[in-house]
Amino acid sequence: MFLNGRGDLPMLEITTPWSSAEIYLHGAQVTHFKKNGEPPLLFLSQCSRFAAGQPIRGGIPIIFPWFGKPTDKPNQHGFARIQDWDLRELAVTPDGSVSVRLQMAECADSSEYPSCAVDYLVTVSATLTVELVVLNKSAREFVFENCLHTYFTVGDIGAVSITGLKGVDYLDQTKAFARQIESNDAIRIASEVDRAYLGTPRTVEIQDASLRRTIRIEKQGSASTVVWNPWIAKSKAMPDFGDDEYQQMVCVETGNVDSDRLTLKPGAVSRLNMKLASAPLP
């Protein structure tokens, strides 16, 4: 069932009548999804590390239980993406879709985090659906952030427009987290972009005129959308990312960050669901 993936890390390879996908136990990371007859939907860096304790650069890193690098945290974007998860279930439905359930090692109760159970459901068909499920197993409130940090493949970043965020407030990390309002119908990227759009449950679309493809990102249980492209200087500064790869990717991330962070009561469950669909541009 498992193959030796890159860095000898265990990887699941999934094929359905419509598509193929790859999932690493490391970070429960979906690193590949491709619909038959289309280019890959997810971007994976040629320079990614595939090693214990290191995040994989591409696909869908799971960001949990914090986003970014708060001063009191040891690393950026939480610990879920650098842990090895367990495969708990794998099922093929009569129509040929494949569903997988992975589970993170249980967080023991600590002064920082209450005990919780974290599951990740991946369904591969003509679309890719993922769901991060967090159960607060403790007797106190659990406050956390989450994000499905999705890297999309694009033909040419200059030919990309992102719609669905007009009128939404965002924090601009390239301007010391200044709060702005998105005024554009379509976001175009021509420099470093690092924005957390807040309070938005809306579907977002990426139009890629170069690959002649529309990507549709539907979400449930998510109030934030992060848009990120490192552009030239930051690409060069990242050891696990190619200098020119910013031209072939954009991250549109689905989650709950900053003021959209979640508070789970004892025994409560949160579900962060994202469905990715693609189609040729008309």
- Which active-site residues does the annotation give? 149, 253
In the complex with ligand BG6, the residue whose CB is nearer, 216 or 234, is 234
Least gap, CB of 66 to ligand BG6 (angstroms): 12
Interface positions with ligand BG6 (CB under 6 A): 55, 76-77, 149, 173, 194, 226, 228, 253
Least gap, CB of 35 to ligand BG6 (angstroms): 25
> Torsions phi, psi of 259, nearest 5?
-70, -10
Measured CA to CA, the distance from residue 193 to residue 49 in angstroms comes to 23
Between β-strands 146-148 and 151-153, what pairing exists: parallel, antiparallel or unpaired? Answer: unpaired
Least gap, CB of 90 to ligand BG6 (angstroms): 28
In the complex with ligand BG6, the residue whose CB is nearer, 53 or 94, is 53
3-state secondary structure the chain: CEEECHHHCEEEEEECCCEEEEEECECCEEEEEEECCCCCCECECCCCCCCCCCCCCECECEEECCCCCCCCCCCCCECHHHCECEEEEEEECCCCCEEEEEECCCECCCCCCCCEEEEEEEEECCCEEEEEEEEECCCCCEEECEEECCEEECCCHHHEEEECCCCCEEEEHHHCCEEEECCCCEECCCCCEEEEECCCCCCEEEEECCCCEEEEEEEECCCEEEEEECHHHHHHHCCCCCCCHHHHEEEEEEEECHHHCEEECCCCEEEEEEEEEEEECC
In the complex with ligand BG6, the residue whose CB is nearer, 5 or 68, is 68
Least gap, CB of 234 to ligand BG6 (angstroms): 7
Name the residue with the smallest CB distance to ligand BG6. 76
In the complex with ligand BG6, the residue whose CB is nearer, 134 or 147, is 147
Question: Which of 238, 241, 271 has its CA nearest to residue 256?
Answer: 271
In the complex with ligand BG6, the residue whose CB is nearer, 76 or 220, is 76
Least gap, CB of 110 to ligand BG6 (angstroms): 23
In the complex with ligand BG6, the residue whose CB is nearer, 32 or 149, is 149
Least gap, CB of 153 to ligand BG6 (angstroms): 17
